[in-house]
């Protein structure tokens, strides 16, 4: 049947088509602008802080500039030790943190940050988060505090710098060392007299002989700090911290108010930057090791079988660190199951 178009029907059709066009537009184009503040773990101008800038830039890119995150370096808004409570209270919406800092209050977080003698490869730890329920359990750990775990940045080993040669895991026994977090209790199990010194005191403690060996940071950071001047041995792999996960954690009330597209942007940007950071670290580790060798530093590599045997012993220390907490135990059980599947534990 032929339908005659009147001026009124044309106008109605135009309005309908405009509405249809608007509904079909990309969702981010309809979202209101959101502004957050984020405090990171790192000092301004450092390589890790530069990657946090890439993270906030990526979030803006994914949301067509509608979701803006103002980035602050460590301590710019509150002292680093107060960031947990500051985000919880809404002083700012997002932090980059190391979960192990809060493991004393939330035992589960000991295992979402680093596992001494645990996963030797970044991909294995990433798989635990994304394929074995790790993300959900990390979120469960933070939820009672009114916080939301978004995603980790995962990277591989940090070295041990030593004034004395360490050829086997047994050689750690009787030495004085600087370690923090879960590594403190695990390395104590292997006979190390642990001193949890601040990072800023590692150089002088090695120089004065107050400690024999130390964990401090990644190879490039330690090269920049001059550790080759006071410790003539580097021990690899860094069994105290074979892989590490730092994390993006948000105020849950603020997170819940975000459009789904913005939540997706946070998760996507976090995973993108995690992979990019690891790729860059692989290159910087190689160049830093060469620079250490030019300074006369000897690199000692522990045998794989020796580390694997020690991993079985470390399981006992991991169990103690759960403090019989139900969630911490559930997390550790899932990680041990995965490690068995990977052949890391018999």
CA atoms of 306 and 102, how far apart (whole Å): 31
CA atoms of 225 and 43, how far apart (whole Å): 14
The secondary structure of 303-326 as a DSSP string is -HHHHHHHHHHHHHHHHHHTTT-H
| First-to-last C-alpha distance (Å) of the chain | 78
Is 241 annotated to bind a ligand? Reply is yes
CB under 8 A, 24+ apart: contacts of 125-132: 125/154, 125/243, 125/245, 126/152, 126/154, 126/274, 127/338, 128/334, 128/335, 128/338, 129/154, 129/245, 132/334, 132/335, 132/338
CB 148 within 8 A of CB 139: yes
Is 178 annotated to bind a ligand? Reply is yes
Residue 236 parent element (H or E): strand 233-236
CA atoms of 122 and 245, how far apart (whole Å): 9
Q: Prior bond to 114 cis, omega within 30?
A: no
* Longest alpha-carbon distance in the chain: 98
Is 326 annotated to bind a ligand? Reply is no
CA atoms of 106 and 83, how far apart (whole Å): 15
Is 158 annotated to bind a ligand? Reply is yes
CB 164 within 8 A of CB 212: yes
CA atoms of 340 and 129, how far apart (whole Å): 16
Instruction: State how far Cα 84 lies from the chain centre.
Output: 15
Binding residues: 158, 178, 215-216, 241
Binding residues for Na(+): 216
Binding residues for substrate: 158, 178, 215, 241
């Amino acid at each position: 049947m032929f339908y005659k178009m009147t001026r009124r029907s044309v106008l109605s059709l135009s309005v309908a088509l405009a509405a249809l066009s608007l509904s079909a537009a990309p969702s981010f184009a309809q979202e209101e602008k959101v502004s957050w503040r984020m405090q990171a773990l790192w000092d301004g101008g450092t390589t890790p802080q530069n990657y946090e800038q890439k993270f906030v830039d990526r979030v803006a890119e994914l949301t067509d500039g509608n979701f803006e995150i103002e980035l602050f370096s460590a301590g710019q808004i509150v002292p680093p030790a107060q960031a947990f409570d500051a985000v919880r209270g809404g002083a700012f919406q997002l932090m980059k943190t190391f979960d192990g800092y809060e493991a004393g209050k939330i035992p589960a977080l000991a295992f979402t940050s680093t596992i001494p003698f645990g996963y030797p490869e970044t991909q294995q730890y990433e798989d635990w988060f994304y394929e074995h329920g790790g993300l959900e359990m990390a979120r469960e750990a933070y939820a009672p505090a009114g916080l939301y775990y978004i995603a980790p940045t995962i990277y591989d080993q940090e070295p041990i710098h030593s004034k004395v040669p360490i050829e086997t895991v047994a050689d750690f026994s009787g030495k004085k060392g600087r370690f923090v977090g879960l590594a403190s209790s695990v390395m104590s199990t292997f006979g190390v007299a642990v001193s949890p010194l601040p990072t800023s005191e590692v150089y002088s403690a090695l120089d004065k002989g107050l400690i024999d060996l130390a964990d401090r940071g990644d190879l490039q950071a330690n090269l920049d700090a001059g550790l080759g001047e006071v410790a003539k041995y580097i021990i690899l792999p860094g069994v105290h911290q074979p892989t590490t996960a730092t994390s993006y954690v948000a105020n849950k009330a603020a997170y819940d108010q975000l459009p789904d597209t913005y939540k997706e942007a946070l998760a996507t940007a976090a995973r993108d930057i995690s992979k990019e950071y690891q790729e860059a670290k692989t290159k910087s580790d190689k160049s830093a090791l060469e620079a250490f060798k030019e300074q006369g530093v000897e690199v000692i590599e522990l045998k794989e079988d020796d580390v694997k045997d020690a991993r079985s012993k470390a399981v006992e220390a991991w169990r103690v660190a759960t403090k019989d907490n139900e969630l911490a135990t559930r997390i550790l059980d899932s990680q041990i199951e995965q490690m068995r599947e990977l052949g890391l534990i018999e």
